[in-house]
Amino acid sequence: MATWSNLNLQNSASPLMEQLTFFHDHTLLILVMITILVAYIMTAIMLYSFTHRYLLEGQLIELIWTILPAMTLIFIALPSLRLLYLLDDTVDPSISLKTVGHQWYWSYEYTDFVNPYEFDSYMIPYNEMNPDGFRLLDVDNRTILPFHTQVRMMVTAADVLHSWTIPALGVKVDATPGRLNQTNFFINRPGTYYGQCSEICGANHSFMPIVIESVNTKTFIKWISNALNA
């Protein structure tokens, strides 16, 4: 989970987030190499008045600084296109979950059952929170999902634009009124994963968090059975 002292990406909890992290590190390495090269050349020119005759004019230097940036863009574009394909790849889901963004809370519906299970998820106010809770992130009803299971998430909105986002899973889906967007994700391990609405949706935009609790399949079946029979 993000904190003030954590300047890095959150630990990945899905294969997609792992690939996003790898791409981030790959691109950052290329940017560091370019920055060091440009800084070295600028420092040499300023401190030592370094001027080479081929830097003033010449077809060779023009050819070099045209080809090198093109090769750099290729090294970034190919992994990027591969990752875009993986993010949009559709897999047969084992469970489907629909979420609707409201001003200012989320509602969820497990749609795979004869009688779909629905509930609303509101942020817990600070004065009602347990001592071990996370301010502005905990909710009264968590979304329970099994890990090692392919999940299909369908997202829409009831009023204005919202965005359903879980950084640790590498998931960010726009919630658009009148339109049903869809994404797939796979949770690698059990845990509690936090997110927030990532689209400015009004005065209480910062007060509609998302909490997913990942459990094993047996625990999930027991939980959904109790919820459907309640």
Distance of CA 216 to the CA centre of its chain: 23
Provide the greatest CA pair distance for the chain.
83
pLDDT, one tens digit per residue, over 193-224 is 999 999 998 898 989 999 999 999 999 999 99
pLDDT of residue 143: 93
Q: Please determine, for residue 132, whether its predicted confidence score (pLDDT) is greater than 90.
A: no
Q: Residue 213 and residue 151: Cα distance in Å, rounded? A: 13
Closest by Cα among 211, 202, 148 to 13: 148
pLDDT of residue 55: 62
Query: In the β-sheet with 105-110, what is the strand arrangement from edge to edge?
Result: 117-121, 105-110, 95-102, 150-157, 181-186
Closest by Cα among 154, 173, 166 to 209: 166
Domains of the chain, residue spans: 15-88, 95-229
The residue behind tokens 């409201």 is 102
Q: Are 115 and 228 in contact (CB under 8 A)?
A: yes
pLDDT, one tens digit per residue, over 32-56 is 999 998 898 888 777 776 666 656 6
Superfamily of domain 95-229: Cupredoxins -  blue copper proteins (2.60.40.420)
Closest by Cα among 205, 210, 203 to 138: 210
Q: Please determine, for residue 1, whether its predicted confidence score (pLDDT) is greater than 60.
A: no
Whether the pTM exceeds 0.95: the reply is no
**Rounded to the nearest 5°, which phi and psi values hold at 222?**
-65, -40
Q: Are 208 and 101 in contact (CB under 8 A)?
A: yes
Q: Are 15 and 188 in contact (CB under 8 A)?
A: yes
C-alpha gyration radius of the chain: 24
